[in-house]
Structure 1
């Protein structure tokens, strides 16, 4: 299943929602596809990881979910050997309602999880900023040596060797910070999208 097929099925199963709310949910999944595609995954792999659109819709909208499968009934007075042709009913099949206690547990769990996860993500981003600052300092070291020479402090071979080393270290740190930025962006966006879906799912079951 590719992206278009996945989103089309999800749109169909979310038809019970108001247009604005449905569009917001679909945008979250489109963002997930976009970030995953940037990191080398195919549309089929992403759709497989996300799971069944019907199950995702059921989790998102709870008791308002209506199964797209037809529901049939048979006339009990008819001849059991020759049953009447099946007829489709108009009564939707609703998912079981989750109680208020379960909803409270969802919010409580998210709260304590974020107490740990959010500071951890912030610390990782702080490490990335430190790498960027170190990389810039190393790459810019020849400029600093030049300013030091113009200030009348002289130039020594040791300073030249140190400058070359700092430039090399700066380039390595710049490469490492690039990969770290991609990883942190992917993790942060995925974690945020998961929080949004979990929060909306809990609100719909109140």
Structure 2
């Protein structure tokens, strides 16, 4: 692969990014080719040392997502970072397994916390005087008389409290996990490039 075909392939893989960012990335690789040619290397040798443009772009996207999450730790940036790491993981199977396991555990914890919140709200609604929902929904817990509205309200409050606490814990666990994933991904980038 020569410089033209490498740059053309790189541009194709960069579609969807900001046009200014694409031009910056392409300019960096053109400069790398210029420096290599000036030092006596062939275009094919330089392209070969750079690797597959598709793999390079996946690494660039993952690194960009990581930086966005580090700058602003929001839920959307976390999901984008995980998606980029999963995409990179298909290239690096060492990274893929742990990332998928972490995503699965975080998702299960999130679903469980939402289920607790919903169950708590439902119990509070059943306990509301005159709601009539106590005829539709029954709550049976061993050794606890749930026939009174007070008991249903008590259980509802406990479930809402536990679900809220669990949701907050999931938030901090996700932030901590994101930080560890970034360190793990960067170590893998270094191993792939041979700089570790």
Per the shorter chain, which TM-score range?
0.3 to 0.5
Structure 1 length-normalised TM: 0.42
Compare CA radii of gyration and give the structure with the larger one.
1
Higher relative contact order (CA 8 A, sep 6+): 1
More helix by share: 2
